């Protein structure tokens, strides 16, 4: 199974199940979408999980997860930790990774131990890394460094910009998480990363030529992003990734981090972006589209 195939399977599952429920409930959850109700997990000794300590994280593996898978998750996370740390910084707390052999057990734990709402299970989605630096890794994702790094990146983005702040700059948030996942993939599996990038570039070239790229203003808020996924968009993640790849390639990662830091001081995303770059989001989007058009010829 390819790296993209595993991630796409989860996204397709979201669109197949509970679309109307997700649309209704995400409206009520925008201020803290996928934030738990305040339930705190018990001590590790209360769980029947095997524990593996890596240099920078603790891996908790459900019975049924092989030692090989546990170690691989740890190795992949450590690589992602270095990539994200070099770009955006390091976590304020030691991350805890919960690795599951069973989807059913994972959702039971999300609902009963961490207090997530039942619709998380109904729409078959995995929450982004918890405010307490807890990440859940379902079966099928144990070897997926892009997935592991992507979800971890969201928490570091929040650490810079503020909890739940990304609900107002989703194309940048998801694009940056995809970018970090791609960079981590390239560190260990360069051939797979190259193939993934080429496939996405072909998709974007075709969309650029046909005029079907998604306008940034249609994937800026969390609600808009969810709607793209619910409607089966195969373009949202690749386009957001390409936008960040272009932005970082031209202006460097330090400016992206600068935008997040300004948001963390209370500035709105459009103003923070313009202050750091000297041009507006709309002007950047026009430049990005010109670039895609030129490369698709």
pLDDT in tens, 271-292: 999 999 999 999 999 999 999 9
- Return the axis-axis angle of helices 145-161 and 3-16, rounded to nearest 10°: 70
Stretch among 20-24, 57-61, 116-120 having the lowest mean pLDDT: 20-24
The predicted structure's pLDDT at residue 123:
79
CB contact set of 98 (below 8 Å; sequence gap of 6+): 49, 60, 62, 106, 109, 134, 135, 136, 137
Q: In this model, does residue 205 exceed pLDDT 90?
A: yes
Burial class (CB in 10 A: 0-12, 13-18, 19+), 112: exposed
Assign 230 a pLDDT band (cuts: 50, 70, 90). confident
> Average per-residue pLDDT in the chain?
86
CB 62 within 8 A of CB 259: no
CB 212 within 8 A of CB 195: no
The mean pLDDT value for 186-207 works out to 96
The predicted structure's pLDDT at residue 297:
62
Q: Measured between alpha carbons, how far is 147 from 185 in angstroms, rounded to an integer?
A: 10
Q: In this model, does residue 223 exceed pLDDT 50?
A: yes
Assigned token pair, 10:
């989860």
Identify which of 42, 148, 160, 194 has the alpha carbon closest to the alpha carbon of residue 90.
160
pLDDT in tens, 167-182: 999 999 999 999 999 9
Q: Measured between alpha carbons, how far is 75 from 70 in angstroms, rounded to an integer?
A: 9
Q: In this model, does residue 107 exceed pLDDT 70?
A: yes
């Amino acid at each position: 199974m390819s790296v993209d195939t595993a991630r796409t399977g989860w996204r397709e599952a979201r669109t197949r199940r509970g679309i109307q429920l997700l649309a209704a409930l995400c409206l009520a959850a925008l201020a803290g979408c996928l934030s738990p109700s305040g339930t705190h997990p018990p001590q590790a000794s209360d769980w029947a999980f095997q524990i593996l300590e890596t240099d920078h994280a603790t891996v908790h593996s459900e019975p049924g997860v092989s030692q090989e898978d546990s170690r691989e998750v740890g190795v992949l996370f450590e690589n992602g930790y270095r990539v994200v740390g070099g770009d955006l910084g390091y976590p304020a707390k030691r991350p805890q990774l919960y690795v599951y052999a069973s989807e059913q057990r994972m959702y039971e734990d999300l609902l009963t131990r961490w207090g997530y709402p039942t619709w998380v299970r109904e729409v078959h989605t995995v929450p982004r890394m918890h405010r307490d630096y807890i990440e859940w890794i379902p079966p099928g994702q144990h070897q997926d460094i892009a997935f592991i790094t992507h979800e971890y990146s969201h928490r570091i983005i929040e650490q810079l910009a503020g909890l739940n702040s990304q609900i107002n700059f989703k194309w940048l948030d998801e694009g940056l998480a995809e970018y970090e996942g791609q960079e981590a993939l390239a560190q260990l599996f360069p051939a797979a990363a190259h193939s993934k990038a080429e496939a996405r570039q072909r998709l974007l070239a075709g969309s650029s030529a046909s005029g079907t790229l998604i306008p940034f203003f249609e994937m800026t808020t969390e609600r808009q992003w969810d709607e793209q996924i619910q409607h089966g968009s195969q373009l949202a993640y690749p386009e957001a990734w390409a936008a960040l790849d272009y932005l970082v390639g031209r202006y460097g990662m330090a400016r992206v981090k600068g935008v997040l830091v300004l948001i963390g001081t209370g500035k709105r995303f459009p103003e923070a972006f313009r202050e750091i770059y000297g041009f507006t989001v709309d002007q950047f989007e026009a430049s990005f589209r010109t670039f895609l058009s030129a490369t698709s010829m």
